[in-house]
Amino acid sequence: MNDLIQIGEKVDILKALPEGLLNLARRYRNLVVLHADFGMRMGLKNFSTAFPERCFNFGLSEENMVSAAVGFAVRGKIPFVVGYSNFAGKAWEQIRSSVCYPNLNIKFVAANVGISNGEDGVGYQATEDIGIMRVIPNMKVASPVDYNEAMSVLHKSYMEFGPVYVRLANCVSPLIFDDKHEFVFGKANVLKDGDGLCVFTHGVLASNVLEAAMILKDEGKSVMVVNMSSIKPIDEEMILSCSEKVGKFLVVEDNNLSGGLFSAVCEVLAEKNPASVRGIGLKDRFAESGGMSELHRKYGLDVMGLAGKMREFF
Amino acid sequence: MTIEYLEKKAAQIRVDALSAISRAGSGHSGSAMSCVEILVSLYYAEISGKAVAKFDSKKPQWDEQDYIILSKGQAVPTQYAILADKGFFDKNEMDYLRRANSILQGYPNMKVPGITVPIASHGCGLSIATGLAMSIKNERLPNKVFAILGDGELQEGQVWAAAMAAAHYKLDNLIAFVDNDNLQMDGPVRSVMDVMPIQDKFESFGWKVIHVWHGHDFDEILDALAKAFTTNRHPVCLWCHTVKGKGIEFAEGKPYYHDAPLSPEELAEVKRKLDPICASNLKMFGNE
């Protein structure tokens, strides 16, 4: 296994949304896109030009859009319901009762999640979305770390039957994977091997975690970094094999630790192999307006902050 | 098909639905009664020799079927009674309504043959119907979508978001009934949260509204449906005046029965009145 997957050029993760959907729509005629007035902002102009009869704008009515997707799914379509940031919270009851309960084949893609949409402030920061989506039976949750993985997540979401929630940040982020990378629901990947401390992460923070791990490496401290982009189903096997090897865990996420990946990892370890776990993220609190890097710094999610916490816990 | 036949069917469906709710010991007797004639019209009636709604009990997933969406899902025992009568599933299933291990859940569930969309709570049915109608229009197919809404349900904002979308997308394959029985859980709709004027509201959203003054009169419902079928470029709302608990003399217009089952004695009283109608061709209700 490579000691470290090389970090590559920086690419906008959100670009995967219009490009991935266009690729899929060219291959699969039953794919339709439903969105709520954020089509242009999320780059869906090309999609709606290429497939005007398969792209529907519902205006600012997320609950209506989610329920309408049920109608499309009943007719055999595979709707990709695209929303801005916290839209899943707005339409949670509809997602739970009308989509997940009957296990309909509907995909939800939230753009500008976590604190990547920092400047708009708390109302447009999705920091509890993992928790509220993860608790719904039948729902799968994915949080890709870069553009290439996001492309693969969209493809796998189409192929996988049942509801899926995909979390896409709005930021330019270094490529961790190449375009051959294949995301698999329920499978984690070791991004960097190590034996002193194991860090689980997902989404845009993976590159910061990797850089912080390299700083510790230079100090002679070996840190393992695992990409848990499939938050549900979670790779229990990976968590348990890491716990046999390392025994000390850190979970890093741009989400409320309650209900997020931190909770998911703790649930597995508490039941199967209790271990010492700490979380870095939003600890039962809201964020605030600010640039993403600024907020990362404030909440200890920047490279130096993460390196400091890793050192402390090592 | 005659009006007498439909009235006989309505009486039979009332007995079957009320018996199931009473046996279950929970359920919405009053709500289930106010929409009986609307549902019987959709499932049993014909207009100009053609069935009002197209379906096939042997093919519950049939692509060419019309969709009947009970947005006021609490009334589903009425729809179950009809589906059982039509042969979608065995009538004995009605004995297990709302019980563990039964397919007949308290609200419409897609596991039940003949239930085509999930309705888990009020307010979402018109949106689901809108999505279905959009998809069907997009496929350039003639299937129709019928939704039955309660009047209390109109207090949900999502209903109006759906109404806006249905008009925006000119869904003339969508017909929504408003079962206006004027009562909800906490009392009269107008004192809980007034939803009037229903006609003006739907019209201002871009719908065509057809007023059905007597929502338990088959002639009126079928006349309104015939007009709705010839409407182009607008969704249609059939605003039906109905009576909560219709057919149960002692429960008519009483909010208590909105979500209460009948006791065995009450059920026996209802059956004494309705059983002879089921067995004959007597006209049950005149025009009130």
**Closest CB from B118, B133, B138 relative to A98:** B118
Contacts with A, B 135-154, CB within 8 Å: 135-136, 138-139, 145
* Per-residue confidence (pLDDT) for residue A5, from 0 to 100: 58
Q: For residue B128, list chain A residues with Cβ-Cβ distance below 8 A.
A: 67-68, 70-71, 74, 98
To the nearest whole angstrom, how far is the Cα of B172 from the nearest Cα of chain A? 16
Q: Is residue B284 part of a domain?
A: no
Q: What is the pTM of this model?
A: 0.95
Contacts with A, B 215-254, CB within 8 Å: none
Please report the number of interchain residue pairs, chain A to chain B, with beta-carbon separation below 8 angstroms.
Answer: 91
Q: Is residue B129 part of a domain?
A: yes
Which residues have C-beta within 8 Å of that of residue A210, sequence separation ≥ 6? A4, A5, A7, A176, A191, A192, A225
Token pair belonging to A217? 């490496």
Residue A63 to residue B138, Cβ atoms within 8 A: no
Residue of chain A nearest B128, judged by CA positions: A68
Residue A93 to residue B127, Cβ atoms within 8 A: no
Q: Is the pLDDT of residue B188 over 50?
A: yes
| pLDDT tens digits along A89-101 | 999 999 999 999 9
| pLDDT tens digits along B128-182 | 999 999 999 999 999 999 999 999 999 999 999 999 999 999 999 999 999 999 9
Residue A72 to residue B135, Cβ atoms within 8 A: yes
* Per-residue confidence (pLDDT) for residue A1, from 0 to 100: 42
Residue of chain B nearest A64, judged by CA positions: B127
What's B234's DSSP letter?
A: S
ipTM: 0.95
Share of chain B above pLDDT 70, in %: 97
| pLDDT tens digits along B121-141 | 899 999 999 999 999 999 999
Q: For residue B129, list chain A residues with Cβ-Cβ distance below 8 A.
A: 71
pLDDT band at A2 (very low <50, low <70, confident <90, very high): very low
**Closest CB from B116, B118, B161 relative to A63:** B161
- Once rounded to an integer, what is the mean pLDDT over residues A5-9? 71
* A102 interface with B at CB cutoff 8 Å: yes
Residue B158 to residue A97, Cβ atoms within 8 A: no
Q: For residue B135, list chain A residues with Cβ-Cβ distance below 8 A.
A: 32, 71-72, 74-75, 77
Say if residues A85 and A101 touch (Cβ distance below 8 Å): no
| pLDDT tens digits along A126-177 | 999 999 999 999 999 999 999 999 999 999 999 999 999 999 998 999 999 9
To the nearest whole angstrom, how far is the Cα of A263 from the nearest Cα of chain B? 29
- Once rounded to an integer, what is the mean pLDDT over residues B111-119? 97
Could you give the domains of chain A? 10-174 (3.40.50.970), 189-313 (3.40.50.920)
* B173 interface with A at CB cutoff 8 Å: no
* Per-residue confidence (pLDDT) for residue B287, from 0 to 100: 40
Domain of residue B194: give its range.
3-279
Q: For residue B103, list chain A residues with Cβ-Cβ distance below 8 A.
A: none
Q: How far is CA B1 from CA A211, B4, B132, B216, B278, in A?
A: 77, 8, 29, 17, 16
To the nearest whole angstrom, how far is the Cα of B110 from the nearest Cα of chain A? 7
Residue A101 to residue B121, Cβ atoms within 8 A: no
Q: For residue B124, list chain A residues with Cβ-Cβ distance below 8 A.
A: 63, 67, 70, 94, 97-98
Q: For residue A71, list chain B residues with Cβ-Cβ distance below 8 A.
A: 117, 127-135, 145
User: Which residue in B275, B271, B286, B288 sits closest to B3, CA to CA?
Assistant: B286
**Closest CB from B119, B120, B138 relative to A53:** B138
* B129 interface with A at CB cutoff 8 Å: yes
Residue B134 to residue A101, Cβ atoms within 8 A: no
Residue B130 to residue A98, Cβ atoms within 8 A: no
Say if residues A144 and A169 touch (Cβ distance below 8 Å): no
* A37 interface with B at CB cutoff 8 Å: no
Residue of chain A nearest B135, judged by CA positions: A72
pLDDT band at A40 (very low <50, low <70, confident <90, very high): confident
Q: Is residue B288 part of a domain?
A: no
* B71 interface with A at CB cutoff 8 Å: no
Burial class (CB within 10 angstroms; exposed 0-12, middle 13-18, buried 19+) of B231: middle
Residue type (1 letter), B31? S
Q: For residue B157, list chain A residues with Cβ-Cβ distance below 8 A.
A: 63
Q: Is residue B151 part of a domain?
A: yes
Token pair belonging to B210? 């057809």
Q: Is the pLDDT of residue A3 over 90?
A: no
* Per-residue confidence (pLDDT) for residue A247, from 0 to 100: 85
**Closest CB from A63, A69, A98 relative to B120:** A98
B272: how many CB neighbours lie within 10 A of its CB? 9
pLDDT band at A43 (very low <50, low <70, confident <90, very high): confident
Domain count, chain B: 1
* B57 interface with A at CB cutoff 8 Å: no
Residue B130 to residue A53, Cβ atoms within 8 A: no
Residue of chain A nearest B109, judged by CA positions: A102
* A103 interface with B at CB cutoff 8 Å: no
Q: What is the CATH number of the domain that holds B123?
A: 3.40.50.970
Q: Is the pLDDT of residue A116 over 90?
A: no
Q: Is residue B287 part of a domain?
A: no
Three-state helix/strand/coil letters over chain A:
CCCECCCCCEEEHHHHHHHHHHHHHHHCCCEEEEECCCCCCCCCHHHHHHCHHHEEECCCCHHHHHHHHHHHHHCCCEEEEEEECCHHHHCHHHHHHHHHCCCCCCEEEEECCECCCHHHCHHHCECCHHHHHHCCCCCEEECCCCHHHHHHHHHHHHHCCCCEEEEECCCEEECCCCCCCCCCCCCCEEEECCCCEEEEECHHHHHHHHHHHHHHHHCCCCEEEEECCEEECCCHHHHHHHHHHCCEEEEEEEEECCCCHHHHHHHHHHHHCCCEEEEEEECCCCCCCCCHHHHHHHCCCCHHHHHHHHHHHC
